[in-house]
Chains A and B, each alone.
Chain A
Amino acid sequence: MIFRLNKLIYILSSKVSARTLLAGAVFALLLTACAVTPEYYTGLDARAQRLNKNIMCPICPGESIDQSQATIALQMREIVREKLGEGWSDAQIRNFFVDRYGPSVLMEPPTDGFSILAWIVPPVIVVVAIVAFLLAIKGMRGNAQRAELANSGNGPSDPDNLERYYQLIEAALEPSLARAATSGNDTPKGTEESNG
């Protein structure tokens, strides 16, 4: 598999022309440009929405104050707007609510203490899964190669015996070609194929 990867890199690098490199560089530059677009990150409306989506309505099970239409949710949205107008930072506003309602008012698990596990475990599992996948492929391929070696002994001694079957199968696969030639009808092996 390492061999395959090397091959891939070699092919990629030998196929890539200067023009492609230039296009790629321009594209990367543009992407970086859009990544630092200020509006997305600092516009008041956008910030308010993001905060609202992150704060839970205390009396409605599982709804953010952005989602819920309950009176208290509306009031909390007002508070968020007010504080944003006064210049509070996102973190300060979040802490304000946590002080009053406890950490469960935030829709995301906090990043300190036990709850950091909530954030750490998924990426770790993803990495483990990728590794497991690659190992599994390697293992299965290893079996395939060993099986091929084991079976290769049978190959040469058989061809004559199977020739008759080959002809029959070929005939079975291509009956429509003969039909098409004579009757000029369409639908070649069409109706008989079934793969997916």
Chain B
Amino acid sequence: MVEAGQAALVIAFVVALYVPIASFVGSWQKAPELTASGRYSFYTIPILLLIATAALIYSFVVRDFSVKYVFENSNLAMPQIYTWVAFYAGNAGSLLFLAVVLAIASVIAVLTIRKRLPYTAPFATGIMSLIIAFFLGIMVFMANPLTVLDFIPPDGQGINPLLIHFGMFIHPPLQMSGLVLVAIPFSIAIGALAARRGGRDEWVDLGRLWGMISWLILTIGLLLGSWWAYTILGWGGYWAWDPVENSALMPWLAMTAFVHSIMVQKRRGMFRMWNMVLIIVAFTLAQMGMFINRGGPVPSVHSFAQSAMGWLFLIFMAVTMVAAIAVFFWRLESLKSRSSLESLWSRESAFLGQNILFLLVAFVTLWGTIFPIFSEAAQGTVITVGRPFFDLVNGPLLLAIIFLMGIGPLLPWRRATVRNLLRTLRVPLSVGLLTGLVLVIVGIRQPPAVVAFATLALVLAGIINEWVRGTRSRHRKGEPYLAAFGNLLSANRPRYGGYIVHMGILMLAVGAIASSFYSTQRDLVMKPGEVASVGSYTFEYMGVEDRVYSDREESLASFTVFKNGEYVGNMEAYRAFYPDFRIAATKGAIRSTLVEDFYIVPSEFQDGGQAVFRVLVNPLVWWMWASGPIITLGIAFGLWPVRQPAMATARLPRGVQVARA
């Protein structure tokens, strides 16, 4: 079985090199059999990689420790279900995972672009194949997941205990998938340029589709990562501006900018050059994300194995960037815009401003992440650029973005008069100010928090205001309210899908702001039987139970918890030590409600059952995780294609319809 996998891997690598050659030469020489051959063989790559994957999974399932990767990432004690996690836990396995995901998604993508972009398709296919070939090449020559050892060890080393959590079943695969899927809109865009079919927005519909798909997966991956950090790493927070987190955030920022400005290109044929640059930047950042995950120049909480192949990633990143830029300049002339910006007060310019803000956040994040390298090179001292820096510098920028999220949709396409804009702004602005006032009166006084919440209120008011006005205007034309609302939404799915996503972002923001400014945190030393209070919670530390497992030692603490005097339940938290890995893992006890999270984490167990606990009350955190499904719903709604009724006009040219989604 392993041999089949190894063979499939090497063959897939060869095929992945054949595809671009066949596609490019076939296009250039106008040899359709050659491009078809390239395309068909591209379709076989997922099959081959699935064979390799099956081989690896099979080796895990039967615990074949002669396979080096299985030896390094599992052991006899590991429950079977963690095979899934072990698959991508290590360097080589994660490469295979990336390759398989990219291969499958690329094939689906090629199937979608084949008919609609027949000239672009060979080039896009070739580019996607080259990217896959890179991953396969690294595997074949440097990090083969199916390498076999000379002997058969009796037991494996086991899986990193930090990975044994429900969140680890979905966060890393989604995060990695999100990063690698940025390759698809990139390939479509650059492929179109290379095929001389990029200057008239031919690729925009499909570029937008695949851009939004990769954006959604990146978003969910980031949310899940934060959630995992919050529930399992046990420090009470969810985002530390750690280099690995930052490297996943930056492509997300660029892609958020992209999915917005691509709408401008679709509607008005503008920002053609800008969007090309943007997708190149996004893909470069995505590659950097994958690079830093493999041991980059800056240390972090959870980088994988430090390996020399990081430098190969860097070279590949440089090569793709340079090649893409070369194609860009070669076809620069064709990218002149069809229309022009007409007014500062227009949706187009709001989108441009939003893009710039997102790129500024990305720049600041990048700057902070790599500045230690500069500092060390320039003056020899090592400094740290950590959370306080990013919070302080990125905070206002993010707030400005949220403010723009409220103002932008109020601006019509092309131009708006200032007088009208002020009239439209009246309701959201007054709601915002009122909210700020109320907050100050009620006791919420920290200026950044007040401004932030007021801004959120402003945005929400703007969205609801438009929904109300839109529904009312349809109602005036004769529809009952409910139908009017439903039709308003379904008639303008991209727009209202976007609003739903923005509501999700508001949920995310409110949770982040509330928990950043108004968390209560206490470190308490408690003996068994002692009772303590934090916020409105009173809890009794019942005691600690020590358990010994084959791979770890656990100390489990249990609590009886009361809120406002009423019993709300028992909670358990533990701290485990894994001697093989010399890692201590903590799992906090969290009681989560819509209003706040009550959170106990054991910091240290001392003699006699005495322990140090960190206790937190984090407001509104639930809303952050709840935003995920809302955002997904919004994207799905926005991408849902509109079924066009047949156009019954005698004289309209064939094939012309009133509008397409």
Residues on A lying within 8 angstroms of B by beta carbon are 1, 4, 7-8, 11-12, 15, 23, 27, 30-31, 33-35, 37, 40, 49, 53-54, 56, 60-64, 66-69, 71, 74, 77, 102-110, 113-115, 117-118, 121-122, 125-126, 129, 132-134, 136-137, 140-141, 143-144, 147, 168, 171-173, 175, 180, 186-196
Contact = CB atoms under 8 A, between A and B. Distances in A.
B586 interface: yes
Given A69-B604, A126-B397, A194 B659 contact: yes
A137 B487 contact: no
Contacts of B80: none
Contacts of B441: 30
A108 B388 contact: yes
B251 to A, nearest CB: 19
Contacts of B364: 122, 125
B572 interface: no
A33 B241 CA distance: 32
B445 A40 contact: yes
B322 interface: no
A108 B386 contact: yes
Interface in B288-341: 299-301, 339-341
Contacts of A194: 491-494, 642, 659-661
Given A63-B240, A113-B379, A141-B340, A196 B356 contact: no
Given A71-B604, A74-B604, A141-B343, A102 B492 contact: no
B363 A125 contact: yes
A196 B494 contact: yes
Contacts of B387: 53, 64, 107
Contacts of B638: 196
Contacts of B386: 54, 56, 62, 64, 107-108
A104 B234 CA distance: 24
A67 B647 CA distance: 62
B512 to A, nearest CB: 16
Contacts of B643: 191
A188 B477 contact: yes
Nearest to B396: A126
B586 A69 contact: yes
Contact of A69 (B242, B353, B360, B584): B584
A30 B437 contact: yes
Given A66-B235, A137-B344, A140-B341, A114 B379 contact: yes
Determine the main DSSP class of A at the interface with B. helix
Contacts of B374: 114, 117
Contact of B344 (A4, A34, A168, A196): A4
Interface string B358-396: 011001100110010011001101111111110001000
B491 A191 contact: yes
A160 B552 CA distance: 86
B648 interface: yes
Contacts of A113: 379
Given A109-B383, A126-B360, A144-B341, 16 more contacts: A4-B345, A15-B422, A27-B436, A56-B384, A61-B301, A62-B384, A63-B240, A63-B301, A107-B386, A109-B371, A109-B384, A122-B363, A133-B353, A144-B342, A186-B479, A191-B645
Interface centre among B339, B356, B383 (most CB of A within 10 A): B383
B340 A147 contact: yes
A27 B437 contact: yes
Nearest to B483: A186
B644 interface: yes
B601 interface: yes
A69 B345 CA distance: 51
A105 B382 CA distance: 9
A194 B419 CA distance: 27
A40 B521 CA distance: 14
Contacts of B497: 196
A196 B447 CA distance: 35
A115 B586 contact: no
A68 B235 contact: yes
